[in-house]
Amino acid sequence: MGETCGVVNGICGTANTCEVAASSKTRISWSIIKKLNLKGPFTGLITVYPPEENAFFASGAFKPNAKHPFVDLSGRRFRVGTIYEKKVIYVRCGIGMVNAAAATQQMLDLFDTSGIIHFGISGNVNNSMSIGDVSIAKQFAHTGLWDWLNPNGTVDSSDVAQLKIGGYNVPEGDGLNLLGQIGYSSEQFFTVTRKPNAAVPLFWAEVSQHWLQLAGSLEGMELEKCVNSSFCLPQKPKLVVGPKGSTANIFLDNAAYRNFLFQTFEVSTVDMESSAVVMTCLSNGYPVIVIRGMSDLAGRQSGENQIRIFGSLAALNVAKAVVKFISKLPGDVYNSSSGK
């Protein structure tokens, strides 16, 4: 008897049974995608993890497609619907740059998509901004692409910045620091606008300017101040368009490194997905914008990280900003100035 497998489309049995069921499910998915694409194009919406997703759906703005409300692909659920009668496809990509890039590429490859709105929460590294604020950054850098050198190593001349780890010894100069220094490298950027395999170095990935200009109309919008009656921010949150963002596969909760990122790159937010989404969209020639709500101070706080208290508030403010941005998109997104 064949090796047993899990449940596929409600069927459990032998490996052969699984293959047949999986093949049938794939055909069904392709059939639905083809039907949906005849109704496109759609604006793609990508967030990261359940609290962001919960806040987004709690807004009540998303109206699922009556006939095909979702398509399951590669372990992710792509939800189909409208917001203010604008056609959208939403997916939760999962944490980290690999998940973000994979989900974005799948969205662009399979669905008739006019562009991507990426949203979620982030750490705040800019002292002029606060928890609860929403940032719509103009550009993102992948700040986790390092050349980590020997203590006596030399940073490559092409690196965009360096971090001398010994400079953070406490007390200064005490003992031998074996971590050396880190040089920050550029990405290899591949794009449909160049010849195949002709990568160019790129550190700052720019979001789409026409969408960034449209987002400017969101400044001054009303954002929430309180999680509940017990937890409120001391100031009213604000939405800011045009700062810079940093992405790396790092949950940042360290004051010294927080300060280094701000002083070196002048970034305001830190997250684990945005650069991957932006780079993937730009490589494929699609518009993209990123909306991030600040949930914590990335290590500047004393005591426990405040994401556990204010993460839900940041997610709520982001969801409000995303919905309002979509309401301002032109009805015919694909054929507008935002076209591919």
CATH (domain of 246): 3.40.50.1580
For residue 108, is it within any domain? Answer: yes
Tens digit of each residue's pLDDT (9 = 90 or more) over 180-223: 899 999 999 999 999 999 999 999 999 999 999 999 999 999 99
Q: Between 1 and 123, whose confidence is greater?
A: 123
For residue 322, is it within any domain? Answer: yes
Q: How many domains does the chain have?
A: 1
25 falls in which pLDDT band (50, 70, 90)? low
Please enumerate, as own/partner, the contacts of 14-20 that have beta carbons within 8 Å and a separation of 24 or more. none
Q: CB within 8 A of 167, min separation 6: which ones?
A: none
Residue 175's Cβ-count burial label (10 Å; 0-12, 13-18, 19+) is exposed
DSSP 8-state secondary structure symbol assigned to residue 226? B
For residue 249, is it within any domain? Answer: yes
Q: What is the largest CA-CA distance in the chain?
A: 68
For residue 192, is it within any domain? Answer: yes
With 60 as the cut, is the pLDDT of residue 19 above it? no
For residue 10, is it within any domain? Answer: no
13 falls in which pLDDT band (50, 70, 90)? very low
Tens digit of each residue's pLDDT (9 = 90 or more) over 231-257: 899 999 999 999 999 999 999 999 999
For residue 19, is it within any domain? Answer: no
Reduced 3-state DSSP string for 15-64: HHHHHHHHHHHHHHHHHHHHHHHCCCCEEEEEECCHHHHHHHHHCCCCEE
Q: Give residue 106's domain range.
A: 24-145+186-328
For residue 165, is it within any domain? Answer: no
For residue 103, is it within any domain? Answer: yes
